[in-house]
Structure 1
Amino acid sequence: MLKFNLIQSGSITAAAMIASGAFQVKNGQIILSGSGDVINIALTIFFAAFLVKFLTPKLGSYTVLLLPLIVAVVAGGVGQFMLPYTKMVTGAVGQTIGTLTNFQPLVMGMLMGIAFAALIVSPISSVGIAMAIGVEGIASGSANLGITACAFTLAIMSSKVNGFGTTIAHFIGTPKIQMANMLKNPRLFLPVIASAGIAGLVGAIFEISGTANSAGFGSAGLIGPMATYQEMAGGPLAIGFIMLLFAGMPILLGFAMRYIFIQKLQFVREEDLVIEDK
C-alpha cells in the first residue's frame, strides 16, 4: 500500500526490532526473547513509516547511507522510550483478564471466551497474555473455544466476499487477519462476542480444560484441541466430542451469527470483512 523499496522497508524493520523489547542484553550477550510487545511494534512502525516518507525526498542521493541510520536511531529510540508504557497497557489488560478467573465457573467461562476472542483480533497477543497470567484448566479451555468461535464466525460471515484460502486461514491460521477491519468497524465485535460467549459458556459447562501454553491459540495448529484431548481420558469418543466442540459448534454459531447480524438485522455487512490481497 505504501510501496516502500528495500532500503525503506529495511529501515522500518530495524526500528521495529529495536523498539520491540524482544532483544535483551545479559552478561554481555544479546538475547532474543519472544516476539516483543506487539502494540509498541505497531506504533513504532507507524512512526517509522512517517519518518521514511518525510526524509526520503530530502536526503536525495544520501538516502541509502543515512536513511537506515536515522530511522533506526530516531524511530527505534522513540519506540524504546514508549516501551515501558505500552507494557503497562498490556500488563493492565492481563491483570483485568486474570480477575475473570475468580468468577463462578459458568460466568468465568463465558467471560474468558469473550475476552480472548476480543484479544485475538486486537494488537495484543492472546498467547502472551495467557502465558503471562497462567490461564489453565477450564479458563484455558473456554478461552480456546472463544477464539475458535471467533475464527469460524468471521470466516463464515466473510466467506462470500473472500476467497477460499482466506476463509480457511481464519481458523487454520488466525482470525487476527481481520484486525484492521475490526478496528475500523467496531460493530463487527458484537457477533464475535456473542458467539465467543456462547462457546466459552459451553466449554465451562462440559469442563473443557487446557494449559497456559495452549490458551490463546484456539484451533490454530490444532493446539487448543490437542491440549483438551490430553486433559481428557482419550479414545474415539473423546476425539468425536472435541471435534464437535472445536468444529461443529463454531460452524453452527458462525452461520447463526451471519443470519442474525447480516441477513436479519443487517447490523453489519459482508463487505466490512473483505481482506484485500495487495
Structure 2
Amino acid sequence: MNKEVLKKSLNNWLQGASMGIVVGLIPGAILGTLTAPFLGKGGIMALIAGAIVAYQFCVPFMVGYFTALQFKLNGIESAVLAGAAFLGSGALKFVDKGWTIKGTGDLINTMLTVAIALVLIKLYNNRWKSLNIVVLPLFGGVLPGLLGLLCLPAVSGFTALLGSLIKHLTTVQPLIMAVLISIIFSLIIVTPLSSVAIAYAVSISGLAAGAANLGIVATVFTLVCGSYMVNPKGITFSLFFAGPKLLMANYLQNLIMTVPLVINAAVVGVFAYLFNIQGTTQSAGFGITGLAGPLNAYTFMSGSSLINWLILLLVFVVVPLVVSIFTHSLLTKVGLYKAEIYQYQRADK
C-alpha cells in the first residue's frame, strides 16, 4: 500500500467515524438538556426524551455505516461492518442473566474494531461470492467484533486514565488546563478528527467541557470573520450550523490559520476559567451548534437568570467575535496571511 492510498484510507476512516458520531449524538446535544427532566415521568414528553436518549445507542452502528460509505462497501459488507462496530464498542453487556446497553460504548475501541473489520473484509475481497452471506457475517462481523472486545479492557483503561488526568489537572491547574483544552478543541474541529469522539473518549466534563465548547466557538467566529469578505453570505452563515469542518480543507492547506485559532481559543479559555463555564461529556465537542454549549453551561449556573444569560452572551458571542475581528484585521494587515485563504472551494470543482 503506497503512501497516498494509506493517507486516503486513514482520512476515510476518520471521516466515517466523525459523521457517525455527530449524526448519532447531535439530537441529544441539542435537545437532551431540555427533555432530560421529563425522563421517567410519563406522557408524550417522556416518550420524546426516551427516544432522544435511545437514539444515541445507535452511534456504533452509524460509525460502521458511514465508514462503509466512505470505503464504498456493498450492502452486506456495510451491514457486517456496522455489526462489528456495535459488538466491539462494548456497549452491550450480559449482566444478571440479561443484556444491558450502556450508552455509546467506548468510541475509540469502536473505531479500532471498524479498522480491524475493514482489513478483514478487504482481505476476503469477495473470494467466494456465493458464500458471502455465510462468510462475511462471521469473518467480517463476529471475528473483528470479538477481537475488538479483547482489546476493550486495555483501550478503556487508557481512555479512563486520560480522562482522570484531565479532570485532575482542571482541579489543580484550572486556568492552564482551560486554556490548553480550549486550544486543542479549536484545532481538532478543523481536522478530520471528531471533537465529539475525543470528548467522549476521554469523558471530559465540568470546566474542561466548557473550555472545549468555547474553543470550538472561537474557531467558528474565526472562520466567520475570515469567510465574510471572500465567500457568499450563505457559506458564512452555514458555519454556525454545518460547523468549522466546512472549511476543513482550507485549514489543512493553509496551516497558518493555526495562529489566529490559537490566539482566539486561548483568550476564550481564560474567560471559561474566569466565569467557570462548565459542560457535560454529551455537550462538549458541539460548541455553539444547536446552542448545545450555552444551554448545558446554563444548567450549572446559579443566581440571577438574567445575569447568567448575559454572561453566556458575553463568553459565547461577544468575546470570541470581538477577538476574532481584531486578530483577523491585525494579521491580514501585517501580511501574515491573505483573506483569500478562507475562500470556500466546492469539492466537486
TM-score tier after normalising by the smaller chain length: 0.7 to 0.9
* TM-aligned CA distance change 1:140 to 1:30, over 3 Å: same
Runs of 5+ unmatched residues, structure 1:
none
Q: Find the aligned partners of 1:210 and 1:74 in 2 and give their Cα distance.
A: 41
Identical aligned pairs, as a percentage?
Answer: 29
Name the counterpart of 1:107.
176
Name the counterpart of 1:96.
165
The answer to whether the Cα contact below 8 Å between 1:97 and 1:112 also exists between their aligned partners in 2 is: no
Superimposed CA distance per residue, residues 175-223 of structure 1 (whole angstroms, 9 cap, x where no aligned partner) = 5778899889977655433322210102223x24334467624323323
Q: Find the aligned partners of 1:36 and 1:179 in 2 and give their Cα distance.
A: 28
* TM-aligned CA distance change 1:238 to 1:22, over 3 Å: same
Superimposed CA distance per residue, residues 73-132 of structure 1 (whole angstroms, 9 cap, x where no aligned partner) = 2221222222223223322321332232234554343234234545666457354367x4
Alpha-carbon offset, residue 45 of structure 1: 1.8
Name the counterpart of 1:21.
90
Query: Do residues 46 (structure 1) and 115 (structure 2) align?
Result: yes
Instruction: State which drifts further: 63-72 or 230-239.
Output: 230-239
Query: Do residues 149 (structure 1) and 221 (structure 2) align?
Result: no
* TM-aligned CA distance change 1:99 to 1:237, over 3 Å: closer
Alpha-carbon offset, residue 19 of structure 1: 0.7
Name the counterpart of 1:245.
315
* TM-aligned CA distance change 1:180 to 1:148, over 3 Å: same
Alpha-carbon offset, residue 173 of structure 1: 6.2
- The SS at the match of 2:171 is coil
Name the counterpart of 1:64.
133
Name the counterpart of 2:278.
210
Q: Find the aligned partners of 1:73 and 1:266 in 2 and give their Cα distance.
A: 51
* TM-aligned CA distance change 1:194 to 1:43, over 3 Å: farther
Q: Find the aligned partners of 1:101 and 1:150 in 2 and give their Cα distance.
A: 22
Q: Find the aligned partners of 1:34 and 1:70 in 2 and give their Cα distance.
A: 26
- The SS at the match of 2:126 is helix
* TM-aligned CA distance change 1:75 to 1:147, over 3 Å: same
- The SS at the match of 1:35 is coil
Q: Find the aligned partners of 1:182 and 1:127 in 2 and give their Cα distance.
A: 21
The answer to whether the Cα contact below 8 Å between 2:298 and 2:309 also exists between their aligned partners in 1 is: yes
Name the counterpart of 2:200.
128
Alpha-carbon offset, residue 141 of structure 1: 3.7
Alpha-carbon offset, residue 26 of structure 1: 0.9
* TM-aligned CA distance change 1:26 to 1:19, over 3 Å: same
* TM-aligned CA distance change 1:214 to 1:18, over 3 Å: closer
Alpha-carbon offset, residue 10 of structure 1: 0.7
- The SS at the match of 2:128 is helix
Q: Find the aligned partners of 1:115 and 1:21 in 2 and give their Cα distance.
A: 27
- The SS at the match of 2:94 is strand
* TM-aligned CA distance change 1:175 to 1:275, over 3 Å: farther
Alpha-carbon offset, residue 36 of structure 1: 2.0
Alpha-carbon offset, residue 72 of structure 1: 0.8
Partner amino acid for 1:221?
G
* TM-aligned CA distance change 1:81 to 1:210, over 3 Å: same
Partner amino acid for 2:113?
T
Selected match of 1:265 from 329, 336, 341? 336
Task: Give the TM-score normalised by structure 2.
Answer: 0.61
Name the counterpart of 2:268.
199
The answer to whether the Cα contact below 8 Å between 2:214 and 2:269 also exists between their aligned partners in 1 is: yes
The answer to whether the Cα contact below 8 Å between 2:88 and 2:149 also exists between their aligned partners in 1 is: yes
The answer to whether the Cα contact below 8 Å between 2:182 and 2:269 also exists between their aligned partners in 1 is: yes
How many pairs are equivalent? 272
The answer to whether the Cα contact below 8 Å between 2:88 and 2:109 also exists between their aligned partners in 1 is: yes
- The SS at the match of 1:30 is strand
The answer to whether the Cα contact below 8 Å between 1:162 and 1:275 also exists between their aligned partners in 2 is: no
Q: Find the aligned partners of 1:261 and 1:46 in 2 and give their Cα distance.
A: 41
Q: Find the aligned partners of 1:70 and 1:182 in 2 and give their Cα distance.
A: 39
Partner amino acid for 1:17?
F
Name the counterpart of 1:6.
75
Instruction: State which drifts further: 16-25 or 39-48.
Output: 39-48
